[in-house]
Structure 1
Amino acid sequence: MPVTDIHSDPEALTMTIVADFNAAPERVWNVFTDPRQLERFWGPPGWPATFTRFDFAPGGLAQYHMTGPDGETSYGRWEFLTIDEPRSFEVLDGFADENGDLNGDIPTMRMVFAFEPTATGTRMDGVTHFASVEALEQAVGMGMVEGITQAMGQLDIVLQQLRDYAAGKGTQVEVLDDQRVRITRLIEGPRELVWRAHQEPELIKRWMLGPDGWAMTVCEVDPAVGGAYRYWWEPAEGTKGEAFGFDGTTLLSDAPRRAVTTEHMTGTDYPSTTNDLQLYEEDGATLITLLITYPDAATRDLVLATGMADGMEISYQRLERELLPA
């Protein structure tokens, strides 16, 4: 986790975040000032950012929105005040409406990002200045500390080349908190095909099978928002296990980048999970990121103990073998 310290100073009306990165200052500077890289981490898991404007010059504006798993949207904007490349830049940060106009109900904040070299890479000091103690307390109450920590926790992926970060590591599982688990897997193939492999029944039935000896006998998918899906697996003769399935609804679809669905075990009263699938392509390889939200820690641990990750890895290997060109 890059964040090493976050502390507030009510007398100075500031909040300071310190983060250390194993990358040169110029590389860290680039990910904070290139909107396509910035939007890969500016927003906590489950709320990715999309920058629609980025005029990186004093007096220029950046406009963005973050989209939650249910499709809800939060808008924000930066006004660039000073830029001292590659050492620091300063912005006036505020919540906005869909047109980019500031929300007058929430005070703006002045944020200063400073980068300095260290023996192992780069240290970032991010200082946010508030207009009043009430504004500082409001930001803390809205989850600013947790949001920044989680957002910065995604930077390790962005700073490295995709293959350096994930190639050959198989299916990786990271427990984020009591309810959320992040699963990543690099697929050596284009994002468009990986997206289709998750959306089109004739492709899904060829790879989403888990261990050998199982067949998907039902695969019905309506990928539109509000549409339903249903999967059903049955064991082949001689394979141990009982038939089972999942059903759910599509909450969000942004082809070919993101799909959010609910998932419920068919025929049971088990609570549903929310599965947030995101795809990112770099140099012909696609990183699958699946953020699963469970109702509680007990359910999370129960599911992980079933060997879910092992079954997913077998399926991903089959996806590469069956659907991707040699």
Structure 2
Amino acid sequence: MPVTDVITDAENLTMTVVADFAAPIERVWAAYSEPRQLERFWGPPGWPATFTAWDHTVGGKANYTMNGPRGEKASGTWEFLRIDAPHGFEVLDAFADEEGTPDSDLPSMRMVFTFEPSEVGTRMVTTSHFASADALEQVVSMGAVEGTKMAMAQLDAVLQDLRDYAQGKGTRTELIDDTHVRITRLVEGPRELVWRAHHEAELMKQWLLGPDGWEMTECVVATAPGDTYRTSWAPVGDTEGQPFGFEGEALLVDAPRRAVTTERMTGMPTETLNDLNLYEEDGATLITLLIEYPDKETRDMILATGMTDGMEASYARLERELLAV
């Protein structure tokens, strides 16, 4: 976790975030000064940002919209007040509509970003200045502290070469909080093909099988928001186990980057929210699956079934039988 401290100071009307990164200043600066890189971490998990305007000059503006898993949107705008590459920059940050017009009913803040050398690489200090104690309290009550910590936790993957970050590490499961789990797996293959492997029934039947000894007996794919899907599996030959399946609805489909679906085991009421994101770099694709559970008990129960091992078996088969062709 890069964030080492978040300090709110009601007397001085500031919120300060301190984060350490194992990367040189120039690399951290690049992540904050290129919109395509910013989009990968400016927004907590499940709320990725899209920068729709970018004028990286003093007096210029940048507009962004964070897109929630159920179609929610939260937009903001930056006005660049100072740029001192690669040591820092300063912006006026405001809530806004999707066109970048500031919302006068919500607080704005002046944000000062400072990058300094450290023993591990770079220390970033971000200080947000507010006009009043009420404005500071309002932003904190909206989840700014928690959201910032989760957003910064995504920056390690941006600062490293994708293969250095994930190659050979298999399927990794990270507990984000009591109800959210992030699963990542790097596969050697283009994003377009990985997307098709997740959304074309004939391809899914070839790899999405979990441990050896199972077959997919039903595969109805959801290709647009509002579509429903069904998948079922059964043991083959002497393999032990009972047939089972999942079903749900597509909430968001943004090919070939993102798909959000609900999921529940067939015949069971408990439902999760699955947020699939694909990012390609140099011919490899990072699969990121953010799962939202109804409660901690459900999260722990499902993880205890060996879900991660089953997913790793499937992803290894995906690489071996589809992407290596």
TM-score, normalised by the number of residues in structure 1? 0.99
For residues 135-163 of structure 1, what are the alpha-carbon distances to aligned partners after superposition, in whole Å with 9 as ceiling and x for unaligned?
A: 00001100000111110011111110000
For residues 156-200 of structure 1, what are the alpha-carbon distances to aligned partners after superposition, in whole Å with 9 as ceiling and x for unaligned?
A: 111100000000010000011100000000010000000000011
Q: What residue number does 1:145 align with?
A: 145
Q: What residue number does 2:80 align with?
A: 80
**CA apart distance, 1:16:** 0.5
Instruction: Give the alignment of 1:273-292 within 5 angstroms.
Output: 273-292=272-291
Residues 211 and 310 in structure 2, CA contact (< 8 A), matched pair in contact too: yes
SS at match of 1:119: coil
Instruction: Give the alignment of 1:175-214 within 5 angstroms.
Output: 175-214=175-214
| Match status 1:319 vs 2:318 | yes
Instruction: Give the alignment of 1:41-190 within 5 angstroms.
Output: 41-190=41-190
Stretches of structure 2 that go unaligned for 5 or more consecutive residues are: none
| Match status 1:297 vs 2:286 | no
**CA apart distance, 1:321:** 1.1
AA paired with 1:295? P
User: Mean Cα displacement is larger for which, 282-291 or 91-100?
Assistant: 91-100
Alpha-carbon distance in 2 for matches of 1:5, 1:294:
27
SS at match of 1:158: helix
Residues 111 and 129 in structure 2, CA contact (< 8 A), matched pair in contact too: yes
**CA apart distance, 1:99:** 1.7
SS at match of 2:211: coil
SS at match of 1:210: coil
Over the aligned positions, Cα root-mean-square deviation in angstroms equals 0.7
SS at match of 2:298: helix
**CA apart distance, 1:237:** 2.0
Alpha-carbon distance in 2 for matches of 1:47, 1:37:
15
- Name segments (4+ residues, structure 1) moved above 4 Å: none
AA paired with 2:313? I
AA paired with 1:99? E
Alpha-carbon distance in 1 for matches of 2:54, 2:151:
19
TM-score, normalised by the number of residues in structure 2? 0.99
Alpha-carbon distance in 1 for matches of 2:115, 2:98:
31
Alpha-carbon distance in 1 for matches of 2:222, 2:260:
13
Residues 225 and 253 in structure 2, CA contact (< 8 A), matched pair in contact too: yes
Q: What residue number does 1:306 align with?
A: 305
**CA apart distance, 1:325:** 3.2
SS at match of 1:7: strand
Instruction: Give the alignment of 1:18-29 within 5 angstroms.
Output: 18-29=18-29
**CA apart distance, 1:71:** 1.2
SS at match of 1:44: coil
For residues 205-239 of structure 1, what are the alpha-carbon distances to aligned partners after superposition, in whole Å with 9 as ceiling and x for unaligned?
A: 11000111111010001210000000010111211
AA paired with 2:254? D
SS at match of 1:197: helix
Alpha-carbon distance in 2 for matches of 1:311, 1:325:
20
AA paired with 2:179? Q
**CA apart distance, 1:8:** 1.1
**CA apart distance, 1:322:** 1.2
For residues 78-99 of structure 1, what are the alpha-carbon distances to aligned partners after superposition, in whole Å with 9 as ceiling and x for unaligned?
A: 0000111111100000011122
Instruction: Give the alignment of 1:227-242 within 5 angstroms.
Output: 227-242=227-242
SS at match of 1:114: strand
For residues 24-62 of structure 1, what are the alpha-carbon distances to aligned partners after superposition, in whole Å with 9 as ceiling and x for unaligned?
A: 001001101110111100000000001111110000000
AA paired with 2:264? H
SS at match of 1:206: helix
For residues 86-113 of structure 1, what are the alpha-carbon distances to aligned partners after superposition, in whole Å with 9 as ceiling and x for unaligned?
A: 1110000001112210001012110000
AA paired with 2:315? Y
AA paired with 1:297? K
Q: What residue number does 1:272 align with?
A: 271
SS at match of 2:286: strand
SS at match of 1:62: strand
**CA apart distance, 1:75:** 0.8
**CA apart distance, 1:267:** 1.6
